[in-house]
Amino acid sequence: MEKIFSGSYVAIVTPFNPDLSVNFDKLTELVEWHIAEGTDGIVACGTTGEVSTLKDDEQLAVIAHVVKTVNKRLPVIAGAGSNETPHSLYLSLEAEKRGADGLLLITPYYNKTNEEGLYRHFATVAEKVHIPVILYNVPGRTGMNIPFNVLKRLAHFKNIVAIKEASGNMDYVLKIAKDIPELAILSGNDSQVLPVLSLGGAGVISVAANVFPKAMAAMCAEYAKGNTREATRLQVLYANLIESLFIEVNPIPVKEAMNLLGWNVGGYRLPLYPMSEKNREVLMEELKGVGLVKSH
């Protein structure tokens, strides 16, 4: 399968009503905004979408709603990973039924596994679904890295087409680019979009694109056109804001930023909790610093 995922994919937040039910009207509004701003694709129900606090029926309803709203104008990737393989397979098959264009599958968290177990975890899903799969490597959250030899075996599956790489290990990224060129590399860290692109990466699955989608899409597009100076300017310009979007655990700051910008995406489900006033002030200053909020 060719490299079909490239550019800026937003890991879209899940907006909530005051009673913490999913706000589907607001979700529609966000999807339409991303399409207008030039976002290349939407990832529904990832970490940023608070998938860990959604029940299965809510998760699948969010995926179905995004698919219906997008209506084939952009690719929609469904977060369908779990630390239990049968559960991940169930979510993947159900997301496929609801029209998702691809799947984002995380490594098992908490229980983790050995190398063969990890291979079989992903292989079980890849063998049963008919849509592309993006593997998600984020050891900072899961406590588990995808060993390179396991990744190489998994790349033999025709529908395992990409990896969202959030380990921050550039040597690992370079090794993938060199030895598994058929696998598209998507940065999982907004602070490392340019470094990953420079090693042959295809784009980013971005938290920050919830806040400045047009600039994140432009960063990827300018690099692809060979305009590395402009792409670098954008990475540097937004560096401090990106840092502040991770001043507390994601997605607390990004939802706070969106609310400060007037999007009214609602609060969080526990254990996530609103950020401290001190950190909110830092975030507001960085939003002002790039002109998203006007300074008085």
What domains are there in the chain, each with its CATH number?
Answer: 7-225 (3.20.20.70)
**Beta-strand (E) ranges in 86-202?**
102-106, 133-137, 160-165, 184-187
- Name the one residue in this structure whose structure tokens are 């490597």: 137
**Comparing 22 with 139, which gets the higher pLDDT?**
22
Question: How many residues make up the chain in this entry?
Answer: 296
Angle of helix 85-97 relative to helix 115-128, nearest 10 degrees, comes to: 20
- The tokens describing 87, both together, are 């559960």
pTM: 0.94
Q: Please tell me which residue in 26, 164, 172, 223 is annotated as part of the active site.
A: 164
Q: What H or E segment, with its residue span, contains residue 77?
A: strand 76-79
Mark whether 136 is an active-site residue. Answer: yes
Q: Would you call 119 a catalytic residue per the annotation?
A: no
Per-residue pLDDT at 276 = 95
Contact 85, 109 (CB under 8 A): no
For residue 162, the cross-strand partners are 134, 184
Query: Does 1 score more than 70 pLDDT?
Result: no
pLDDT at position 296 is: 59
Catalytic residue among 136, 172, 223, 238: 136
Average pLDDT for 285-291: 95
Mean pLDDT of 63-86: 96
Candidates 89, 39, 86; CA nearest to 66 is: 39
